[in-house]
Structure 1
Amino acid sequence: MTTLATTPGLPRDLPADPVSLAQRLIRFETVNPPGAEAACVHWIRDLLDVAGLETRLLALDPERPNLVARLRGRGTEPPLLLHAHVDVVPVTGQDWSRPPFAADIVDGELWGRGAVDMKGHLAMMLAALLRLAADGTPPAGDVILAVVADEEAGSATGARFLVERHPELFAGVRYAIGEDGGAELRLGGATRLHPIVVAEKRALWVRATLHGTPGHASRVAGPEGAAAKLHRLLAAIDGGGLGTLMTPVVDRMLAELSGALPEPYAGRLAAFRADPDDPAALTGLDDADVRYLRSLVQHTVNATVVQGGTATNVLPARITVELDGRLLPGEHSREDFLATLRARAGCPMDLDVLVEGERMPRPRLDGFYDRLAAVLKTKDPQGIPFPMVTTASTDARLFPRLGIQTFGWLPLLHGPDRSYRGRLHCPDERINVGSLEFGADCFHALLAGHG
């Protein structure tokens, strides 16, 4: 067991205070790239060692270790996995009002890179685990905490390494809880919403190459020119995707929200559920909410990088377009996605897959989902928990390969005029200290009742 003297700054009284824990985590500069998560991970390891948890460090890169800690339960229920990453995105080029790694608390808000994504979230988990260990009453099943590197840049040295090289560490786990990937709906702040992410869209990044006949640009290029084909491709995806597809989980989400929200939000969501192709269905809602909702009912495609041409007066022989595709969860294949893209564009092109994310299975909203919702409802009777699909990818995409159902669960408590999920990756990222305490209480209630 590691002694307290191993890591400078380790609190000797093991406080289970999520705010202090979050401050300490933010002050480790773990910007990825390069990551350099070792000091932060070692500090967490020492903290949990002293609290009596079993800990193990595993690393593909010694400067970027992962920690797997276990709080032993009574063995009457399967283990539960909590997973969190300690790397954060860069702050370079962003205009911050306060130093991004100072972890200042101002007007009841904790400022700093990682406050939301996801060191504040990890602090909730740690606080709950430390309180549970101090209680001396083991949960029904083991609680496993995986603190990982590299989530913000592909997970190669983090969760992917653990899943592929050390699957035995997660034997018997049926459910996992991690970040919610920024899943957020404001809906005018009509009430406090608690999204429970049950699945993620998966990335399919593609480079489309459009060929045309080169020549002098003083003459009409014609419909077979590369630029004309580019125009047809961009027009085909102008709506943002490849046609609407209502999945069961999104249908349930819309049904629950339309049944719980006041007007006009209830009516707007009900209309969208009935006909997601109706352009007027979401009239009056905030633009960010509209774009998020429309992203949940289609495979989305966005053109992000366009390259081609050699001179202003020369028709290009080739133009390439990089496309960020995101597929809905379920049994949707890359082949179907590429075939639909070609058909909609209506022009010949070469398609090369640059990145393909892991396919997430269709989510199961079973008894464990109900437990997550029940904890939120107990702690915040006026809030609305509901299932949600996030458009982003997190480490949650990897654990289903081990047969683990994953959930994104970030319990937050804030006023209707505040948004914290929307601050991740942004300058002036911050979180309400009351939300940290609320989240820690929710995690403690969940873990204490585990099983």
Structure 2
Amino acid sequence: MAERVVNVPAHNDVVDLCARLVRFDTTNHGNGDSAGERDAAEFVAQVLSDAGVESTIYESAPGRANVIARLSGRDPSLPALLVQGHLDVVPAAAADWTVPPFSGEIRDGYLWGRGAVDMKDFCAMVLSAVRSMAASGRKPRRDVVLAFVADEEDRGDFGAHWLTAKHPDLFDGCAAAISESGGYTYHVPAADGRTVRLYPVATAERGTAHLRISATGRAGHASRRNDENAVLRLVGALHRLSEHRWPVRLTPTVTAFLERAGAALDVQIDLSDVDATLARLGPAAGLVESTVRNSTTPTVLDAGYKVNVIPSLASAQVDTRTLPGTEDDLLRELDTLLGPHVEREFLTRQPAVEAPVDSTWFSSMADALRSQDPAAVVVPYCMGGGTDAKAFSALGIDCYGFAPLWLPEGFPYRAMAHGVDERVPVEGLRFGAAVLDHFLSHC
């Protein structure tokens, strides 16, 4: 059966909105070094104003701008919904790209540029849906808080975490939130030869614990025997860590993904043998294989200052990701693996996020996707990385990854975010705007 997208109204402005957002260089180099989001924020505020929506720009530091607006719903007795996306992007080396990364060029049915997928596409789709509703005199079913924030690509200190710490009242009444990353098409071959269109919606994401691992020892001359060499102690600890295979821990989200994706693909699911189940899932395993276990990945090394000197201190940084409810167990095992004379400290510590799978929110997202693709199979999944959901979930908000996007078969979507030649299908933008319009109108 030929794949097609149905009932997609002509949101002619969403592509232009996305292109114009991409053309703002909002590069975030990290550690406070940023081009800033102010110009993009002012553009967003103007688009909202043209649609009759009043907004406010909150600057956490010069140039680090966040836009907040609140739409009144038809039923103010319902809890509010937060729709949040970030305006900053990661750096792009222009020499590596086919097109200039901030050109917003449209070529071969795609809109190219840094942020086209992560995540100015979502910001444009939200703005398009708001404009469409305003143009037709419609209101969302419930109050909707819009947040276009800074600094997600670093630590959120100038964006979501700053807003929730300094202005939590802006999100009063919000029971749930949507943002990156979920609701996109994932074409998977089924056991019977069919191609199934899965749409994974994130109902969880692993926690982030960036650690510094430090080994101490006795300094000395490198030509002499030294059984207290800090470098060797660190290398030994990292070797034990890298060799350790963390056990399978099935969370409600991952369990639901395996069961529902398996049923849709006609694949036998054995929760007692997850590795064998992943092998049977084929390409769909890519959505879940990183979230059946915790992970500890060494990424940075720092030791020594002269080749003939044994240092007294050697350190490494380890990217640690924890599934909901597992952090304490991981840290106990981690301390055992590190061994004596090696200590750890947190550089960043943000808990895992998990929202209910079987909720009216999830059902409304599924309905909205099926309004544009009746063959959509909507499944929950857990994100392996982290988003601003960690900031907003601390306010008691159930956070979902729902940034709907239609993707053609074979499109390397998961390689686009932070990658070279980042691009998004023009048809996908129009599909996403229509899905969001439906969701905001009915959820």
Q: What TM-score results when the alignment is normalised by the length of structure 2?
A: 0.87
Structure 2 unaligned runs (5+)?
1-10
CA contact (8 A) 2:218 2:230 kept: yes
| 1:172, distance to aligned residue in structure 2 (A) | 1.0
Question: How do residues 50-69 of structure 1 correspond to structure 2 at under 5 angstroms?
Answer: 50-69=50-69
Q: SS of the counterpart of 2:331? A: helix
Question: How do residues 138-217 of structure 1 correspond to structure 2 at under 5 angstroms?
Answer: 138-180=139-181, 190-215=195-220, 217=222
- 1:404 matched to which residue of 2? 397
| Counterpart Cα distance in 1 of 2:209 and 2:428 | 34
CA contact (8 A) 1:183 1:197 kept: no
- 1:10 matched to which residue of 2? none
- 2:408 matched to which residue of 1? 415
The answer to whether the aligner puts 1:232 opposite 2:236 as a matched pair is yes
- 1:79 matched to which residue of 2? 80
Q: 1:191 to 1:347 in 2, by over 3 A?
A: farther
- 2:304 matched to which residue of 1? 309
**TM-superposition CA deviations, 1:392-431 (whole Å, max 9, x none):** 1111111112221111112121222113242011110000
Q: Whose strand fraction is larger, Structure 1's or Structure 2's?
A: 2
One-letter amino acid of the structure 1 residue matched with residue 435 of structure 2: C
| 1:350, distance to aligned residue in structure 2 (A) | 1.3
| 1:346, distance to aligned residue in structure 2 (A) | 3.8
| Counterpart Cα distance in 2 of 1:365 and 1:87 | 32
CA contact (8 A) 2:112 2:424 kept: yes
One-letter amino acid of the structure 2 residue matched with residue 66 of structure 1: N
| Counterpart Cα distance in 2 of 1:65 and 1:397 | 19
Question: How do residues 343-382 of structure 1 correspond to structure 2 at under 5 angstroms?
Answer: 343-361=336-354, 363-382=356-375
Q: SS of the counterpart of 1:195? A: strand
| Counterpart Cα distance in 1 of 2:92 and 2:368 | 35
CA contact (8 A) 1:183 1:388 kept: no
Q: 1:257 to 1:292 in 2, by over 3 A?
A: closer
| Counterpart Cα distance in 1 of 2:183 and 2:365 | 18
- 2:7 matched to which residue of 1? none
CA contact (8 A) 2:407 2:425 kept: yes
One-letter amino acid of the structure 2 residue matched with residue 99 of structure 1: P
| 1:293, distance to aligned residue in structure 2 (A) | 3.2
CA contact (8 A) 1:89 1:152 kept: yes
The answer to whether the aligner puts 1:251 opposite 2:251 as a matched pair is no
Question: How do residues 39-118 of structure 1 correspond to structure 2 at under 5 angstroms?
Answer: 39-74=39-74, 75-92=76-93, 95-118=96-119
Q: 1:50 to 1:184 in 2, by over 3 A?
A: closer
The worse-fitting range, judged by mean Cα deviation, of 19-28 and 135-144 is 135-144
Percentage of pairs with the same residue: 36
Question: How do residues 128-139 of structure 1 correspond to structure 2 at under 5 angstroms?
Answer: 128-139=129-140
- 1:328 matched to which residue of 2? 323
- 1:386 matched to which residue of 2? 379
Question: How do residues 268-283 of structure 1 correspond to structure 2 at under 5 angstroms?
Answer: 270-271=269-270, 273-276=271-274, 278=275, 282-283=278-279
CA contact (8 A) 1:101 1:113 kept: yes
**TM-superposition CA deviations, 1:380-402 (whole Å, max 9, x none):** 23332111111111111111122
The answer to whether the aligner puts 1:293 opposite 2:297 as a matched pair is no
| 1:169, distance to aligned residue in structure 2 (A) | 1.6
Q: What TM-score results when the alignment is normalised by the length of structure 1?
A: 0.86
One-letter amino acid of the structure 1 residue matched with residue 256 of structure 2: R
| 1:53, distance to aligned residue in structure 2 (A) | 1.1
Aligned length: 424
- 1:337 matched to which residue of 2? 330
| Counterpart Cα distance in 2 of 1:395 and 1:24 | 23
Alpha-carbon RMSD: 2.7
| 1:193, distance to aligned residue in structure 2 (A) | 2.4
| 1:26, distance to aligned residue in structure 2 (A) | 0.7
Q: SS of the counterpart of 2:174? A: coil
| Counterpart Cα distance in 2 of 1:321 and 1:426 | 26
| 1:363, distance to aligned residue in structure 2 (A) | 4.2
- Out of 11, 14, 19, which is 2:15 matched to? 19
| Counterpart Cα distance in 2 of 1:90 and 1:34 | 10
